[in-house]
């Protein structure tokens, strides 16, 4: 009987495993893929996550980027070096996610990868988790199995508040010759952006939409973008994946179980950043289960409240900004992105040095005044 079984070895699951094992709890992580496993993702990580751990992330960072480049329909560029304490980390998710789980293993957490969960049953005061390799039992469950995982449904969360949108990504091998630059392209895609995130051994380029459900030809749009970068997509594999974007506060706990990461719909509505909010939810999930194991009967309820308060408040601002910016992105680009302070503000938000709540009021006013101008 484990103190806690965590389903999913992404950033939320790995974080929860590390912190729970560090408290001396017996933890089992179940992951259906074999680690390390490829995960389509731009791979931009806020260095602010370092404050929640006591180890060095250097082995998991591909490179650090401190320059941003924005374009509108491939023209009208805005470039800036961001003046943050630490640049944005660029990671490959197979390496980053596995590294995080390995830190948990060093603390005593057990990992069973290549182990798919086939169903769950609650037995009086513990969970039986059925897997392809037989059942396991745990007093508490953390469902961190991502946007497509079945755990939330099995736990009875039938209608989660979320905006299910999509992204298409391609990995381009190559040598980064110049200073690594994070590139955002607005204008070629409705209600989202295209990105080119550098890695030590190539680029992750992709397209995603974050509001609305208008069908768009992602393949065609990504192809056009790739051509502008002198990249031929025919030689690279493309990966489509859903995004579970925050769409309002909700209950994230049930009998002896909580949702974390993308299963808890914590992806940022403005930038689609998912790694930092997922890690934060994993951190809170570990503290919650630890308190519940110590006898706090209200711990799980407090988890829902804390996520709604800490993450939800920030996400609500992001959603307001996204609504104004993406629906009228030509104006958003002119009065928002091209504003002299915009790249620095964006850089500070990406690096965790500023919150949306600090800047959204001003940004929204600027966007609204842009309609009048």
Structure tokens at 44: 């931009």
Q: Which two tokens stand for residue 76?
A: 């009208």
Closest by Cα among 314, 312, 368 to 336: 368
Tens digit of each residue's pLDDT (9 = 90 or more) over 246-262: 999 999 999 999 999 99
- Reported as a single tens digit per residue, the pLDDT across 333-353 is 998 899 888 889 989 999 999
In sequence order, the β-bridge partners of residue 170 are 205, 238
Q: How sure is the predictor about 158, in pLDDT bands with cuts at 50, 70 and 90?
A: confident
pLDDT computed for residue 304 by the predictor: 96
43-68 in b/e form (b: 16+ CB < 10 A) is bbbbbbbeeebeeebeebbbbebbbb
C-alpha distances (whole Å) from 224 to each of 122, 186, 323, 331 are: 51, 13, 26, 23
Contact 356, 318 (CB under 8 A): yes
* Residue 367: predicted pLDDT: 67
Residue 123: burial class (beta carbons within 10 Å; 0-12, 13-18, 19+)? exposed
Query: What's residue 295's pLDDT?
Result: 96
Region 37-54 average pLDDT? 94
Rg (CA), the chain: 20
Phi, psi of 292 (to 5 degrees): -65, -40
Classify domain 2-63+88-162+244-350 by CATH number. 3.50.50.60
Average pLDDT, stretch 43-62? 96
Residue 104 or residue 180, greater confidence: 104
- Predicted pLDDT at 369: 67
Share of the chain above pLDDT 90, in %: 74
pLDDT of 63 strictly over 70: yes
pLDDT tens sequence across 276-334: 999 999 999 999 999 999 999 999 999 999 999 999 999 999 999 898 899 888 988 99
Give yes or no for a contact between 196 and 203, defined as CB atoms under 8 angstroms apart. yes
Is the model's pLDDT at 370 over the cut of 70?
A: no
Average pLDDT of the chain, as a whole number: 92
What whole-number percentage of the chain has pLDDT above 70? 97
Does residue 99 surpass a pLDDT of 60? yes
Residues forming beta bridges with residue 167, ordered by sequence position = 208, 241
By the 8 A CB rule, do 171 and 204 touch? Answer: yes
DSSP state for residue 339 in the 8-state scheme: S
Q: What is the pLDDT confidence band of residue 373, given thresholds at 50, 70 and 90? A: very low
- DSSP labels, 9-73: -SHHHHHHHHHHHHTT--EEEE-SSPSS-------EE-GGGGGG-SS--GGG--EEE-EEEEEET
Segments making up each domain of the chain, as ranges: 2-63+88-162+244-350
d(CA 148, CA 25): 28
Q: What is the pLDDT of residue 371?
A: 54
Strands 75-81 and 88-90: unpaired
3-state DSSP call for residue 1? coil
Provide DSSP, 221-281: HHHHHHHHTT--GGGS-EEEEEEEEE-S----EETTEEE-GGGGT-B-TTT---HHHHHHH
Distances (CA, A) of 350 to 58, 70, 209: 18, 14, 18
pLDDT over 60 at 372, yes or no: no
Q: What is the pTM of this model?
A: 0.95
């Amino acid at each position: 009987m484990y103190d806690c079984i965590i389903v999913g070895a992404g950033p939320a699951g790995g974080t929860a495993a590390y912190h729970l094992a560090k408290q001396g709890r017996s933890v089992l992580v179940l992951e259906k893929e074999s680690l390390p496993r490829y995960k389509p993702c731009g791979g931009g990580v806020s260095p602010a996550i370092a404050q929640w751990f006591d180890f060095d992330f250097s082995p998991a960072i591909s490179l650090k980027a401190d320059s941003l480049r924005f374009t509108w329909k491939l023209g009208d560029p805005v470039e800036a070096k961001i003046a943050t304490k630490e640049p944005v980390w660029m990671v490959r998710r197979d390496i980053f996610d596995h590294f995080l789980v390995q830190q948990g293993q060093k603390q005593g957490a057990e990992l069973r990868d290549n182990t798919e969960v086939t169903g769950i049953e609650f037995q009086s005061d513990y969970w039986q988790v059925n897997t392809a390799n037989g059942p396991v039992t745990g007093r508490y469950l953390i469902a961190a199995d991502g946007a497509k995982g079945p755990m939330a449904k099995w736990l009875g969360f039938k209608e989660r508040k979320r905006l299910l949108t999509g992204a298409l990504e391609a990995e381009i091998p190559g040598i980064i010759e110049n200073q690594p630059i994070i590139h955002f392209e607005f204008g070629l895609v409705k209600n989202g952006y295209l990105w080119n995130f550098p890695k030590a051994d190539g680029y992750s380029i992709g397209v995603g939409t974050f509001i609305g459900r208008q069908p768009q030809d992602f393949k065609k749009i990504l192809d056009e973008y790739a051509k502008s970068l002198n990249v031929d997509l025919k030689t690279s594999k493309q990966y489509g994946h859903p995004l579970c974007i925050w769409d309002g506060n909700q209950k994230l706990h049930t009998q002896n179980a909580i949702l974390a990461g993308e299963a808890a719909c914590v992806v940022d509505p403005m930038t689609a950043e998912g790694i930092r909010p997922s890690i934060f939810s994993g951190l809170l999930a570990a503290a919650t289960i630890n308190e519940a194991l110590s006898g706090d009967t209200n711990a799980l309820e407090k988890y829902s409240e804390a996520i709604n308060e800490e993450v939800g408040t920030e996400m609500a601002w992001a959603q307001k900004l996204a609504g104004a910016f993406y629906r009228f992105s030509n104006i958003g680009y002119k009065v928002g992105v091209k504003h002299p302070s915009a790249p620095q503000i964006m850089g500070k938000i990406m690096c965790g040095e500023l919150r949306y709540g600090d800047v959204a009021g001003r940004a929204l006013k600027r966007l609204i005044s842009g309609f009048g101008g």
